Amino acid sequence: MDLSVIVLLSLCGFLRGQETTDPISLDDCCKDGKERGQESQDCTSLPLISESTTCRIAQEQCCTAVLEDNICTSGINVAKDQGSCDALLSSSTCETKTAKTCCECCLLGRAAQERGLSCDLTLAVWYQCGLVSRACCVDRSPNSDGKPAPELPKAQGDAQNTEDQCKAAGCSQSCFNGSCACLEGYKLKADAKTCEDINECLSVTGPCPSGHMCFNTVGSYTCQRHSVTCGRGYHLNADGSRCVDIDECALPTGGHICSYRCHNTPGSFLCTCPATGYTLAPNGRSCQDIDECVTSTHSCSESESCFNIQGGYKCLNFDCPANYRRSGDTRCERLPCNQTSECLALPVRITYYHLTFPTKIPIPTNIFRMGPSNSALGDDIEVAIVDGNQGGYFAAKRVEQGGVLVVQKPIALPQDFEISLEMKLRRFGHLSVYLFKIRLFVTPDELSHISE
């Protein structure tokens, strides 16, 4: 009587090497990055949500855009609320650097508005700074904050202005006692009438403190701290003077950057896999199981069969016991009986199987099914584990037209089992016994649980 056995394990996707995931769109990748940017996460070390390199780029760039926009806005608010960026000098992180740059660019725009200059600055500032400066200039209409209009700088000269003497002088800015004078930040040209801007930045000592750069403006100047731009994988040190390496492996998300081990390198990081059984995936972060049986890198003999498991392989063989003959790669058939009760009580057939699954398998889970290939009215089937169930992790249960082997208790540690499962079939008053020898290999659920 033929039997059919259905191995459920392969259908459940327990072998990581055979797992597949639904493709994720770039919009979803970008959305994830934006959400993490709003949470101020490190955009260079985000948890991996897809094996796709393109998805990782979209995720990181969308995160960076949101993060930098929020940081820049905070700097603009400091400029508007305090009229100074000194509050941003206490820290020199990359975030503070961005906020301070936007703050100072906003102050440039406010200064232009106060002096009645055009909001379209002609300074050679970078594009983003120009946008911030113009926005702060246009946004601040005269006296919009309730404060009195700023006073013009006082004219140079110590004599009282005599209007009658200055009427015909033709001065471009101001006149004192018949002589043309200029406002602060300007000087008279050779014609003694026209005022021209003083470039304070060209003075020998320079008007700005150490570590700052001078930018000349019409009638004045601004000082901007030297900006140190750090490349990917680096950030400013505490005093903002130099770039230091970011230890991505030590970040809160470091445990999720690599699937096994993370090693910090200058400006980056390196993921590694266990010394044997795995290889690094093309994404540079995940570890893939090596199927030694397919690649012929196993050490099994010709009399053994190779069975791949997560992170390794097993060399398997079997011998038929007395009164049995081998019939196929995994089956032993009972020799003809002389009708003695002792012989007839032996299993008609012994079949060998091998399965593998991870430690954190859902409980309960059916991992093996057995039953006759065809059923008949009145069939009576009994199933039982007769050997190998140390620890009581497994149970045999009767189901319609057969039985199943069930994992009924969590298996915390990787280990091997050899379960002997017996099925008795009574049909038309005749008893037939079948024995299933099942080798089970429980592997670590996570690579971090593998020791080297």
How is the chain split into domains, by residue range?
A: 21-142+220-245, 247-289, 320-449
Average pLDDT over residues 221-249: 85
Per mean pLDDT, which of 101-105, 253-257, 374-378, 414-418 is the most reliable?
A: 414-418
Alpha helices by DSSP H, 83-208: 94-114, 127-139, 163-166
Average pLDDT over residues 89-101: 72
Q: What is the pLDDT of residue 7?
A: 37
Average pLDDT over residues 289-301: 95
Determine which of 5-19, 82-96, 156-170 has the lowest per-residue pLDDT on average. 5-19
Distance of CA 322 to CAs 280, 326, 346, 347, Å?
48, 11, 11, 12
Determine which of 170-184, 285-299, 429-443 has the lowest per-residue pLDDT on average. 170-184
Q: Which of 117, 107, 114, 121 is nearest to 142 (CA)?
A: 114
Q: How far apart are CA 218 and CA 199, in angstroms?
A: 8
CATH superfamily of 320-449: Cadherins (2.60.40.60)
Q: How far apart are CA 360 and CA 47, in angstroms?
A: 22
- Residue recorded with tokens 């540690």: 413
Q: What is the pLDDT of residue 182?
A: 80
Average pLDDT over residues 333-350: 86
Q: How far apart are CA 441 and CA 361, in angstroms?
A: 12
Average pLDDT over residues 281-296: 94
Burial of 174 per CB tally in 10 Å (0-12, 13-18, 19+): buried
Q: What is the pLDDT of residue 239?
A: 74
Q: What is the pLDDT of residue 188?
A: 87
Please check the confidence at residue 441 and state whether its pLDDT lies above 90. Answer: yes
Average pLDDT over residues 208-226: 82
Average pLDDT over residues 194-213: 83
What is the percent of the chain where pLDDT is above 90?
36
Average pLDDT over residues 1-15: 38
Q: What is the DSSP letter of 312?
A: E
- Residue recorded with tokens 């319609």: 400
Q: For all residues of the chain together, what is the average pLDDT?
A: 81
Backbone angles phi, psi at 30, to 5 degrees: -65, -40
Determine which of 236-245, 360-369, 399-408 has the lowest per-residue pLDDT on average. 236-245
What is the percent of the chain where pLDDT is above 70?
83
- Residue recorded with tokens 């266990």: 274
Task: Identify the band that residue 278 occupies on the pLDDT scale cut at 50, 70 and 90.
Answer: very high
CB proximity list for 11: less than 8 A, separation 6 or greater: none
User: How much helix, strand and coil, in percent to the nearest 5, is found in the chain?
Assistant: 25, 30, 45
Please check the confidence at residue 262 and state whether its pLDDT lies above 60. Answer: yes
Domain 247-289 matches domain 320-449 at the CATH topology level: no
Average pLDDT over residues 370-382: 85
Q: What is the pLDDT of residue 118?
A: 66
Determine which of 104-113, 175-184, 342-351, 430-439 has the lowest per-residue pLDDT on average. 175-184
Each residue of 136-170: pLDDT tens digit?
Answer: 887 765 544 444 433 333 444 433 445 555 666 77
Cα torsion 433, 394, 413, 307: sign: positive
Helix (H, G, I), strand (E, B) or coil at 225: strand
Please check the confidence at residue 32 and state whether its pLDDT lies above 50. Answer: yes
Other residues' Cβ atoms within 10 Å of the Cβ of residue 286: 18
- Residue recorded with tokens 């050490």: 299
Q: How far apart are CA 60 and CA 68, in angstroms?
A: 12
171 vs 443: which has the higher pLDDT: 443
Please check the confidence at residue 332 and state whether its pLDDT lies above 50. Answer: yes
217 vs 314: which has the higher pLDDT: 314
Burial of 235 per CB tally in 10 Å (0-12, 13-18, 19+): middle
Q: In whole angstroms, what separates CA 256 from the centre of its chain?
A: 7
Q: What is the pLDDT of residue 254?
A: 66
Please check the confidence at residue 19 and state whether its pLDDT lies above 60. Answer: no
Q: What is the pLDDT of residue 120?
A: 66
Fold designation for 247-289: Laminin (2.10.25)
CB proximity list for 147: less than 8 A, separation 6 or greater: none
Each residue of 47-79: pLDDT tens digit?
Answer: 888 888 888 888 889 988 888 888 888 888 888
Q: What is the pLDDT of residue 10?
A: 33
The first and second tokens of residue 252, run together, are 């809160």
Q: b/e for 423-446, b at 16 or more Cβ within 10 A?
A: bebebeeeebbbbbbbbbbbbbbe
Alpha helices by DSSP H, 235-375: 254-257, 292-295, 341-344
Q: Which of 257, 449, 452, 244 is nearest to 360 (CA)?
A: 449
Q: What is the pLDDT of residue 436?
A: 97
